[in-house]
Amino acid sequence: MTTAPSPHERVALSLARQGMMTHLGVRLVSATPGQVELALSYSDKLTQQQGGFHGGAIGALADIAGGYAALTVAPEGMEVVTVEYKINFLNSLQGGEIRAIGKVLKAGRRVIVTSAEVVHIDADGKTSPCAVMQQTVAPVPQTY
């Protein structure tokens, strides 16, 4: 009898298959049932015209953190896909890194509702709010 992977293992294995997240350099910080934290270090490849983190990078990190939080509560043999999300950008800051903490708000059989908070952490460890997101995710059968 095989044992189900831990939430951390399940997220790490899926994250390794994500070409875009690998390309961006997203790192898994933690994964527990219903919550995932991801990090993304500042790079000039992730900026907008004013030098701050680009909204696309912030949104991608929030989306994936919420989606992986949903994956931690989805049944074995299922993956998840984003149905929709709404994000509010609060700041676009330079340097350091951004971290997104995705949390499951409600897990149903057909949809899972999550939220994510994105914070900026500067070189001195000071945190500033960056974005907040709410998301709807759907469980789908694994295809690999």
pLDDT in tens, 46-95: 999 999 999 999 999 999 999 999 999 999 899 999 999 999 999 989 99
pLDDT at position 57, please? Answer: 96
CATH number at residue 119: 3.10.129.10
On whether residue 109 sits in a domain, the answer given is yes
3-state class (DSSP) for residue 118: strand
Chain centroid offset of residue 4 CA? 22
pLDDT band at 143 (very low <50, low <70, confident <90, very high): confident
- For residue 2, pLDDT beyond 80: no
On whether residue 1 sits in a domain, the answer given is no
For the chain, percent of residues with pLDDT exceeding 90: 92
On whether residue 97 sits in a domain, the answer given is yes
3-state class (DSSP) for residue 16: helix
Number of structural domains found in the chain: 1
List 13's β-bridge partners, or say none.
none
pLDDT band at 1 (very low <50, low <70, confident <90, very high): low
Q: Give the Cα separation of 36 and 28 in Å (integer).
A: 8
On whether residue 22 sits in a domain, the answer given is yes
Number of Cα atoms under 13 Å in the Cβ half of residue 41 = 6
Contact between 63 and 85 under an 8 Å Cβ cutoff? The reply is yes
Please give the structure tokens belonging to residue 112.
């899972």
pLDDT band at 4 (very low <50, low <70, confident <90, very high): confident
Other C-beta atoms lying within 10 Å of the C-beta of residue 94: 13
List the domain range (segments joined by +) for residue 53: 7-141
pLDDT band at 144 (very low <50, low <70, confident <90, very high): confident
pTM of structure: 0.95
Contact between 61 and 26 under an 8 Å Cβ cutoff? The reply is yes
On whether residue 2 sits in a domain, the answer given is no
